[in-house]
Amino acid sequence: MSAPNLTALRARQVGALLAGGMVLLATSGCGGSSSSGSSGTPGGTTPTPTPVTNTVTIQAGSETTNQFFNMLLASVTVCVPGTSTCQTIQNVLVDTGSTGLRLLASSLTIALPAVSDAAGSPLGNCATFSGNTYAWGAVATADVQLAGEIASKVPIQIINASGFPTVPEACSVGGTNTDASSLGANGILGVGVTQQDCGSACATAGSGLPPVYFGCPSTGCLAEAVSTQQQVQNPVGLFPQDNNGVVISLPALDASGDASASGQMVFGIGTQTDNALNGVQVYTTDGFGNFSVTFNGSTYSGSFIDTGSNGLFFLNANSLGVPTCPVNTNFYCPSSTVNYSAITTGTNGTANTIAFSIANANTLFNTANTVFNDVGGPNVGGFDLGLPFFFGRTVYVAIEGASTTGGTGPYYAF
């Protein structure tokens, strides 16, 4: 984040401390919050929680000119747990395809308490991504604030934490390290359908332990089992209210894209007047967040929606009959825009037709625009309905096991 913002934040913190330490103690929240905590109702009846501000602005585009596109970004405030020592991190990637808050150490100026494993060794976390990138770093805890919502003592990942052991071979996947230049953001806010980044598979020691959590004594980091509570968490699921999912709304775009686009992320589904399930269909998913897409008569069960993917990724050049771009084979480059339709089907059987287009990616990239609804490329295993899918839609992402007015998560609704 930039220096002026830091100065302003510190000024606010000092002001808050001088003006009312009791208020801070009572709400145990972060400095700078504009929300009102629930004050409780005298007389012994169960207090009705006062609705808190549950909406943040999200910005689609690119933080850095001409480097990235279709990045969905938001500001996230983290605090040392139970204190007013806070920092607002701008330009954090909003990612429905992953779970957990991951912040680049280089973007942090406050010291968040590190988590140790059962043996007292520093706990390391490894996240991998389909672009063959990995994020490695320490697990720490923070109070995470988004709008008026505060999740307390959330395990998060500090990517490339200084002084932390170097990445173990089992994490680096032969891939690209996540840093400011490769990420194009200051962190990743994973708000997908799962509550933890790994879940029960990482909580049981044994031969099948995925390389996600590592105990890091001085002798080196080794994969180990970690309870689900200690794992990196979806902060939304830890809010006191509005904690069953998120609603993402982005405006429609023209086929040529735009310089940027501004929308909203609302917390909770059917919990307040601004997040009702109106005019959408609920598509339940499997435990991984996958549902089905049927295209040209074939059904792809490993399909998903993902704000963290910057295109519509499906099939490949041979099976689609559209060439990839001459140099960048990650994208399609048809000679003219092609219109498609497909059927999305939830594990509950809900099915509907979606329409989308694929334009020549090189033509789009040669413009000054950074948001596009018609850029795409190949994907193995199913449809990766990335950020282009979200333009002109309101999309609900319900967390596994969470009750909502539309049923129990995990599901997508749109």
**Piece of 44-52, 114-122, 146-154, 372-380 that binds another protein (CB under 8 A):** 372-380
Q: Nearest distance from residue 201's CB to another protein, in Å?
A: 4
Q: For another protein, which is the closer residue by CB, 16 or 398? A: 398
Q: Is 384 in contact with 227 (CB distance < 8 Å)? A: no
- Residue 291's nearest CA partner among 328, 342, 219, 240 is 342
Could you say whether residue 213 binds another protein (CB under 8 A)? Answer: no
Q: Does 380 bind another protein (CB under 8 A)?
A: yes
d(CA 220, CA 66) in angstroms, rounded, equals: 39
- Contact window for another protein (CB under 8 A) among 5-13, 255-263, 284-292, 404-412: 284-292
175 and 263 in contact (C-beta within 8 Å)? no
Parallel, antiparallel, or unpaired for β 376-377 and 407-408? Answer: unpaired
Tell me whether residue 82 or residue 184 sits nearer to another protein (CB atom): 184
Contact between residue 291 and residue 306 where contact means Cβ atoms under 8 Å apart: no
The encoded tokens of residue 316 equal 């490949």
Does the footprint of another protein cover residue 321 (CB under 8 A)?
no
Kindly provide the b/e burial profile for residues 47-82, where b requires at least 16 CB atoms within 10 angstroms of the residue's own CB. eeeebbbbbbebbbbbbeeeebbbbbbbbbbbbbbe
Q: Does 326 bind another protein (CB under 8 A)?
A: no
Please report how close the Cβ of residue 190 comes to another protein at its closest, in angstroms: 7
**32 vs 291 by CB, closer to another protein:** 291
228 interacts with another protein by CB under 8 A: no
**Binding test (CB under 8 A) with another protein, winner from 43, 208, 279, 349:** 208
71 vs 269 by CB, closer to another protein: 71
**Is 185:101 a contact under the CB 8 Å cutoff?**
no
Which structure tokens are listed for 212?
A: 């996600």
Distance, CA of 281 to CA of 236 (rounded, Å): 22
Site size toward another protein, by CB under 8 A: 67
| Helix or strand run (H / E) with residue 214 | strand 213-215
Reading the block at residue 208, the tokens are 């099948």
Q: What's the 3-state SS for 29-49?
A: CCCCCCCCCCCCCCCCCCCCC
Binder to another protein among 61, 148, 215, 386 (CB under 8 A)?
A: 386
Closest CB to another protein among residues 112, 202: 202
Interaction between residue 116 and another protein (CB under 8 A): no
Residue 114 main-chain phi, psi, to 5 deg: -75, 155
259 scored as a contact of another protein (CB under 8 A): no
Residue 227 or 405 having the CB closest to another protein:
227
Q: State the Cα–Cα distance between residues 393 and 103, nearest whole angstrom.
A: 28
Nearest distance from residue 288's CB to another protein, in Å? Answer: 4
Under the binding rule (CB under 8 A), the answer on residue 411 touching another protein is no
Work out which of 33, 87, 121, 128 binds another protein, going by CB under 8 A.
Answer: 128
Does residue 187 interact with another protein by CB under 8 A?
no
Is position 340 an interface residue for another protein (rule: CB under 8 A)?
A: no
Give me the 285-304 binding string for another protein, x by CB under 8 A, dash otherwise: ---xxx-----------x-x
* 3-class secondary structure, 128: strand
**What residues line the site for another protein (CB under 8 A)?**
67-71, 93, 97-99, 126-132, 134, 169-170, 172-176, 184, 190, 192, 194, 197-199, 201, 206-212, 288-290, 302, 304, 306, 308-311, 313, 316-317, 324, 327-331, 365, 377-382, 384, 386
